[in-house]
Amino acid sequence: MSLSRSIAIAGVHEHPTRWAPDRTASQIMAESARAALEDCGLGLVDVDGLFAAGMEMGPMGVVTLAEYLNLKPRYIDGTNIGGSSFVAHVAHAAAAIHAGLCRVALILYGSTAASNAMAIGTGGQIGRDPATAFSTPYGLTTVGSYALVAQRHMQKYGTTSEQLAEIAVTMRRHAVLNPVAKMRSPIRIEDVLASRMISEPLHLLDCCIMSDGGGALVVTSLDHARDLKQKPALLLGSGEAVWHQEIGAPDLLTIAAKQSSDEAFRMAGVTRDEIDLCMIYDSFTITVLVTLEALGFCKPGEGGSFIESGAISLGSALPVNLDGGGLSSNHPGMRGIFLVIEAVKQLRRECGPRQVEGAERALVHGTGGLLSTLHSGATLILERDR
Amino acid sequence: MTKPIKHPRPGVDWETRAYWEGCGRHELILQRCRSCGTLQHRPRALCVSCLSDEIEHFPASGRGTVYSFTVTHQNQAPGFREALPYVLAYVELEEGVRLLTNIVGCSPENVRIGLPVEVEYAQLEGDIAVPRFHPL
């Protein structure tokens, strides 16, 4: 039996906290695990596969987490490919379940990045690692890495700051409809353009917010998921990719999402026209624009006009990030897990005012790392069970 | 005019020593594979096209153009917070390799994609220097 359409996401939970000075990252993961298992009607005793990654977790982080949860999984995966890790974990869990290596996989993330005052976007890189020696002497920041892509895109295609700002405005409009989103006051394009410049051409409001938070996913076979409490979200296709400097001549405008989504669409056997909504890692506005192009929803260079036409707004042909995304809802250091959680909730049609009407199929794409030096991409295509 | 940047000292190991020591002599050293001719950067012990270890080093011209850049207005890291706003850039060398670097010696608002630039070196303690670029 093919892997596609045989595995499902059965339970999800997004921790509602955005500021948790009174919690640890492990606690947020455990609370999320409890709620996601309750969501589908399982218990910790049913879990035999554990998947996690985190900025606050050491190299043996998953082992420490298993100890914290008093779990003895028979399948363990601590893959860390940056913020996209959890999107990849779903594919890895599906492969493990399909191969019979585990039956119920729990995927966890938790972080107190904001209350710990972690400087992620503009903390700069320090350290003497020879592998990063070619960027550390120059003051590369996370924002700067994405800004290099934005500048190149603007020069090559005439993309404007207003077009990028439209992404932030749209995410905020969606966040207004999400009761747990951190930023819920509407903004206009002028507000984005008037916000402080961080790394040209990216303003403060072109950058994702900082928050605490976490979440959990429960993955199992479709047959098992159908016996549980919630309508399953089937996994149709998945893909992963790593993009890097290619022996010293990076093409900043072709990103990992091209390879990973081509693979995911091939596996899923559906076309782009059949996708009802997208969850795209919006670390910065430019990330959404180049990802939409790489996913094939518009041609290279046409991202700006595509977005300007209102195409990614709720009620349009391809609504993106209905929860408000990292730009407005939450961004506790790594965001991949929230992309999957919102996609599943949309497919279950439980999102109230921000619900995409009749949502049948969702595409999830996570970007991890620094877009212009070294990054990963992971794509999933999910479908509402019949 | 850009403000002086105090570049953090790069980590140097066996594979990258020739590059950084070259910078100390004011030579921008690139690698070429003697077996298959592939040009590569950053330096590695093996050719990543054919895995040969017949790697030769040669000095690049030191001239190129700005491939992309960002005027950085926020960075809390020491050495950079005092230099804001500074210009982070990819420079495409005449040889085809792109280096992450800083553009210095001009007003940040005068930096453009395609601007012709030339290498210069910021001497650090010891025999190591950090290459960066100014407009030609």
Q: What are the tokens at B16?
A: 């990258």
Give the domain A7-117+208-384 fold.
Peroxisomal Thiolase; Chain A, domain 1 (3.40.47)
Tally of CA atoms within 13 A in the half-sphere of A136 that contains its CB = 15
Decide if B7 is inside a domain: no
How far apart CA A232 and CA A219 sit, in angstroms, is 10
Q: What are the tokens at B127?
A: 């025999």
How far apart CA B116 and CA B130 sit, in angstroms, is 19
Residue A274 has pLDDT above 80, yes or no: yes
pLDDT of residue A15: 98
* A137/chain B closest Cα distance in angstroms: 5
Length of chain A: 386
Decide if B44 is inside a domain: yes
Side chain identity, residue A45: V
Residue A127 has pLDDT above 70, yes or no: no
Whether residue A137 and residue B39 make contact (CB cut-off 8 A), yes or no, is no
**In which band, very low, low, confident or very high, does the pLDDT at B66 lie, cut at 50, 70 and 90?**
very high
pLDDT of residue A99: 98
Q: What angle in degrees, to the nearest 10, is found between the helix axes of A25-40 and A61-68?
A: 60
How far apart CA A383 and CA A268 sit, in angstroms, is 10
How far apart CA A369 and CA B41 sit, in angstroms, is 20
Whether residue A132 and residue B79 make contact (CB cut-off 8 A), yes or no, is no
pLDDT of residue A16: 97
- Residue B95: give the domain boundaries: 17-135
Alpha-carbon Rg for chain A, nearest whole angstrom, is 19
The ipTM assigned to this model is 0.97
Find, among A149, A79, A120, the residue nearest to A294 by Cα.
A149
Can you tell me the mean pLDDT for A192-217? Answer: 98
> CA-nearest residue of chain A to B30?
A248
pLDDT of residue A128: 58
Per-residue pLDDT of A73-90, as tens digits, reads: 999 999 999 999 999 999
Residue B61 has pLDDT above 70, yes or no: yes
Contacts of A59 (CB under 8 A, 6+ apart): none
Whether residue A152 and residue B83 make contact (CB cut-off 8 A), yes or no, is no
Can you tell me the mean pLDDT for A215-221? Answer: 98
Cross-strand pairs, A376? A242, A368
Using an 8 Å Cβ cutoff, are A259 and A365 in contact?
no
A196 touches chain B (CB under 8 A): yes
Find, among A37, A323, A39, A276, the residue nearest to A50 by Cα.
A37
Tokens 């993309």, residue?
A159
Using an 8 Å Cβ cutoff, are A362 and A234 in contact?
no
B-chain residues near A138 (CB < 8 A): 7, 88, 100-102, 130, 132
**In which band, very low, low, confident or very high, does the pLDDT at A125 lie, cut at 50, 70 and 90?**
low
C-alpha dihedral, A196 to A200 to A203 to A204, nearest 10° = -70
Decide if B2 is inside a domain: no
Number of domains in chain B: 1
pLDDT of residue A27: 96
Residue A35 has pLDDT above 70, yes or no: yes
Q: What percent of chain B has pLDDT over 70?
A: 100
* A208/chain B closest Cα distance in angstroms: 15
Mean pLDDT, chain A, rounded, equals 95
Tally of CA atoms within 13 A in the half-sphere of A99 that contains its CB = 10
**In which band, very low, low, confident or very high, does the pLDDT at B1 lie, cut at 50, 70 and 90?**
confident
Q: Choosing among A200, A202, A206, which should be mutated to test the B contact, i.e. which has the most B CBs within 10 A?
A: A200
pLDDT of residue A345: 98
B-chain residues near A249 (CB < 8 A): 92, 96-98
* B9/chain A closest Cα distance in angstroms: 6
Side chain identity, residue A251: D
Residue A126 has pLDDT above 70, yes or no: no
Using an 8 Å Cβ cutoff, are A332 and A114 in contact?
yes
